[in-house]
Amino acid sequence: MSDKATPVGAVRTAAAPVQHFIRAIVEADLASGKHAAIATRFPPEPNGYLHIGHAKSICLNFGLAEDYGGTCNLRFDDTNPEKESEEYALAIQEDVRWLGFTWNGPVRWASDYFQALYDYAELLIDKGLAYVDDLTADEMREFRGTLTQPGRDSPYRDRSPAENLDLFRRMKAGEFADGARTLRLKIDMASPNINLRDPVIYRIKRAHHIRTGDAWCIYPMYDYTHCISDALECITHSLCTLEFEDHRPLYDWVLDQLPVPSHPRQIEFSRLELQYTVTSKRKLNQLVTQGHVAGWDDPRMPTIHGMRRRGYTPEGIREFARRIGISKSDNVVDMAVLESAVRDDLEARAPRVMAVLDPLKVVLTNFREGVTASRAAPFHPQQAEFGEREVPIARELWIERDDFAEIPPEGWQRLTPGGEVRLRYSYVIRCDQVVKDAAGAVIELRCSIDHDTLGRNPVGRKVKGVIHWVPADAARAIEARLYDRLFTVPEPDGDKTRDFLEFLNPDSLRVVRGWIEPGLPAPEPETRLQFERLGYFCTDRFDHDADGAWVFNRTVGLKDTWSRQGGS
């Protein structure tokens, strides 16, 4: 029954890559001989769990390397020690592997280059291209100017290289308080690009680092670290999101001043914005720390850990990344696109079973032991190799409560008083009596079997409705966690006058107890199944069993799969 045992690779082949402007650049560079092979990198900061936007970047960077026979490095940007942890770093590595990618060589870290970065900073000071500044953060903002007004030179800008070198070495030695001094590049305070107005490249920060401990009390800034790290690793194409487009002149300026072994090309693409969720690490962290979700891997979260726990497949996420493509235009994507990619992948790989999540009892009044027969059913209508199982019928059944209506709406094809339906893989039954409790609620249906309809249509009449069911005496108890979108509006952080938490969906999780057909082997963690007519479900990675009930997370609903499969 487990999808892990099925030869999924034989079921479907990967779709062809979608051409985009970065592929065109790579192909031109390879064709011209500019590069014999490409080298990319994925450079996350280990300050949180990766989300769907990172998945897009992972698929781009690793996918290009894979498609063109190049390499992709995994390099952690660990330059902000106060917010980084080993937990996040290990989770990121797990996510990359789970998505199906392998990085080139060992995991790399920006901290691997701390000494080289420091030495390059001294070289820039010697060349008169960097200086130690005593301005406070507030003063620096005041001197920086605006988008329409040029900045002003710091009064410390004209210190001599010798004085700057002495002060920088004393910064490294820990002689000054945190924030007392910075090292800045000397570029152009009148530049229309604010990123070139003498950016800070080192600050004093006494914080314990996850890899270097307390060896350093000065840490390099991202813009300075990133370009040099790329160059030292001989990256050919440094791919980043559009917010770094204005930083590209700084990227190139730094590398132009230093004797680095290569000069990568930075290329920007639009970041992914997924509707009905948020992808800001700060806001995701807020959801976790304030208890609005159960953790970074809550199945409602857009994190890769969360999507995995919900039952999304790595192939489905990779297909989603392929479908949305790469461009420089806004990339706001409806959640339905992601759900469709996952659903299409699960359609081929998930075995079918029957489960009932809102049970209503049916008593088959003319059930005859030894006469009323059961029937075998395939686990998948198109995948014979998945095998089949016996679906045993019994005198008492569970059906879905919403498959019965005393007063049916127009077009109703399910069970009604006096009406007939077919039990999936079994007989046609007729509802003869409705039993209610003292409050008038329906608690039981008494139905009769047409014993001539097992595997064939009834004579002289047409029965259109088909419903799923499980035998009450042998069904296995399950807990189903029914997940919905975390927010009620497409862009929960789109209104800057309101707190995004105001749009949390109070019904994003509903937990129900139900029943699954008997005779199935105990599923392993992350076993994916289709509950016929209900949706795709996955056994929880960690909570496999709750008080004797198997635990399933609803991954995604069906897309009219039932009507396409037909009747019995």
Active-site residue, 375 included? no
Three-state secondary-structure class, residue 61: helix
Q: Residue 1's pLDDT is what?
A: 54
Number of domains in the chain: 4
Shared domain check, 363 and 454: yes
381: domain CATH number is 2.40.240.10
Q: Residue 560's pLDDT is what?
A: 37
Q: Among residues of the chain, what percentage have pLDDT more than 70?
A: 96
Q: Per-residue confidence at 480, pLDDT binned at 50, 70, 90?
A: very high
Active-site residue, 476 included? no
Q: Per-residue confidence at 107, pLDDT binned at 50, 70, 90?
A: very high
At which of 288, 323, 346 does a domain end?
346
Q: Quick one: DSSP state of residue 51?
A: B
What are the helix (H) ranges across 329-392?
Answer: 335-349
Q: What's phi and psi for 25, nearest 5 deg?
A: -65, -45
pLDDT at 234 over 50: yes
Q: Per-residue confidence at 14, pLDDT binned at 50, 70, 90?
A: low
Tokens 């989770």 correspond to: 91
Q: Residue 548's pLDDT is what?
A: 86
Give the domain range for residue 287. Answer: 3-109+226-346
Shared domain check, 492 and 421: no
Q: Residue 546's pLDDT is what?
A: 77
Tell me if 230 sits within 8 A of 72, measured CB to CB: no
Across 5-19, b (16+ Cβ under 10 Å) vs e yields ebeeeebeeeeeeee
Tell me if 121 sits within 8 A of 94, measured CB to CB: no
Nearest to 101 by CA among 71, 134, 133: 71
At which of 172, 196, 222 does a domain end?
222
At which of 346, 381, 397 does a domain end?
346
Active-site residue, 559 included? no
202: domain CATH number is 3.90.800.10
pLDDT at 5 over 80: no
Q: Residue 145's pLDDT is what?
A: 96
Task: Choose, from 203, 205, 211, 271, the residue flagged as catalytic.
Answer: 271
The DSSP string of 254-281 is HHHHS--S--PEEEEEPPEEETTS---H
Shared domain check, 253 and 204: no
336-339 — which CB contacts under 8 Å span 24+ positions?
Answer: 338/52, 338/274, 339/556, 339/557
Task: Choose, from 56, 75, 281, 310, the residue flagged as catalytic.
Answer: 281
What rounded mean pLDDT belongs to the chain? 94
Shared domain check, 460 and 315: no
Question: pLDDT for 390-437, tens place per residue?
Answer: 999 999 999 999 999 999 999 999 999 999 999 999 999 999 999 999
Shared domain check, 12 and 150: no
The Cα 514–Cα 355 span in angstroms is: 7
pLDDT at 16 over 90: no
Across 485-520, b (16+ Cβ under 10 Å) vs e yields bbbeebebbeeeeeebeebbeeebbeeeebbbbbeb
